[in-house]
């Protein structure tokens, strides 16, 4: 167990809908990262938050947004869902703000299926 | 930004043989290089990492080597076992976040 908690584990929804994925980082970690993993694909970086502020942005679609709350948990909102958004979404956390040399600890992921 | 390339995409070895996976990176300022193992349906887990002030690090059957001049690093697994079968990802920092290679699916045949 990495200490990073993601809910829900599975999510099935229809095209055009909106969903929210939740992540609680390890105790003491200030950064949360979101990654998307499509079937048999790598880990695509979406966005990072550090202590409530956006720190880095990757290839995140405009239909997707995220935030980190004062208690440091984070939510990833996916709207106007398309079939191609079906993927495993991972959250990871680290102690500091990223920089160069931070170990990332991953949650178990949320499997999103858009039908 | 950082670009990480990983080879091969698939690797099949006989139990007991060695396996080597290679990654190259683009940002000469990168100084931390982790390797993650992802078993089917599971989360990626850190198995070994290396910082730029050393050229090699070992942990039992796994080792990582780093060549900063050539900007590449490699994962070495010796005496492979069936439980080593998984997807392995290398990574390198991109300013504040971490960028991953495309992954290598390792299959160890008993």
Average pLDDT taken over every residue of chain A: 94
Helix (H/G/I), strand (E/B), else coil: B22: strand
Helix (H/G/I), strand (E/B), else coil: A85: helix
Query: Which pLDDT belongs to residue B89?
Result: 97
Using a pLDDT cut of 70, give the percent of chain B over it: 100
For range A54-60, the mean pLDDT? 92
| Token reading at A3 | 């200490």
Taking one residue from A and the other from B, the number of pairs with CB-CB distance under 8 angstroms is: 70
Angstrom distance (rounded) from CA A15 to CA A112: 12
The yes-or-no verdict on residue B21 having pLDDT over 70 is yes
List the one residue out of B39, B48, B59, B43 whose CA is nearest residue B91: B48
For residue A100, what pLDDT band results from cuts at 50, 70 and 90? low
Q: What is the pLDDT of residues B57-82, one digit of tens each?
A: 999 999 999 999 999 999 999 999 99
CB A35 within 8 A of CB A97: no
Residues of chain A with C-beta less than 8 angstroms from the C-beta of B44: 43, 90, 106
For residue B100, the chain A residue with the least C-alpha distance is: A43
Contact A102 B98 (CB under 8 A): yes
Q: Which residue has the higher pLDDT, B52 or A24?
A: A24
Q: What is the pLDDT of residues A26-48, one digit of tens each?
A: 999 999 999 999 987 789 999 99
Q: DSSP character for A84?
A: G
The yes-or-no verdict on residue B92 having pLDDT over 80 is yes
Q: What is the pLDDT of residues B1-20, one digit of tens each?
A: 788 999 999 999 999 999 99
What is the side-by-side strand order in the sheet with B4-7? Answer: B4-7, B19-25, B72-77, B62-67, B56-59
| Token reading at B74 | 């490699």
* A107 interface with B at CB cutoff 8 Å: yes
Please state the three-class secondary structure of B29-87 as a single string: CCCEEEEEEECCCCCCEEEEEEECCCCEEEECCEEEEEECCCCEEEEEECCCCHHHCEE
Residues of chain A with C-beta less than 8 angstroms from the C-beta of B36: 106
């Amino acid at each position: 167990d990495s200490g990073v908690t993601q809910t829900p584990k599975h999510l099935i929804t229809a095209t055009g809908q909106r969903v929210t994925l939740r992540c609680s980082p390890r105790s003491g970690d200030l950064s949360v990262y979101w990654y998307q993993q499509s079937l048999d694909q790598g880990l695509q970086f979406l966005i990072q938050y550090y202590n409530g502020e956006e720190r880095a942005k990757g290839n995140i679609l405009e239909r997707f947004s995220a935030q980190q709350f004062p208690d440091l948990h984070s939510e990833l909102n996916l709207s106007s869902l398309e079939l191609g958004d079906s993927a495993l979404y991972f959250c990871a956390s680290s102690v500091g703000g990223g920089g160069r040399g931070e170990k990332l600890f991953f949650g178990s992921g949320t499997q999103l299926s858009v039908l | 930004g950082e670009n990480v390339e990983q080879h091969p995409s698939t690797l099949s070895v006989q139990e007991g043989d060695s396996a080597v996976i290679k990654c190259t990176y683009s940002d000469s300022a990168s100084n931390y290089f982790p390797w993650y193992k992802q078993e089917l349906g599971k989360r990626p887990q850190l198995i070994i990492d290396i910082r730029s002030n050393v050229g090699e690090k070992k942990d039992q059957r796994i080792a990582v080597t780093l060549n900063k001049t050539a900007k590449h690093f490699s994962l070495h697994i010796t005496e492979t076992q069936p439980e080593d079968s998984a997807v392995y990802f290398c990574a390198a920092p991109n300013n504040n976040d971490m960028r991953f290679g495309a992954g290598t699916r390792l299959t160890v045949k008993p």
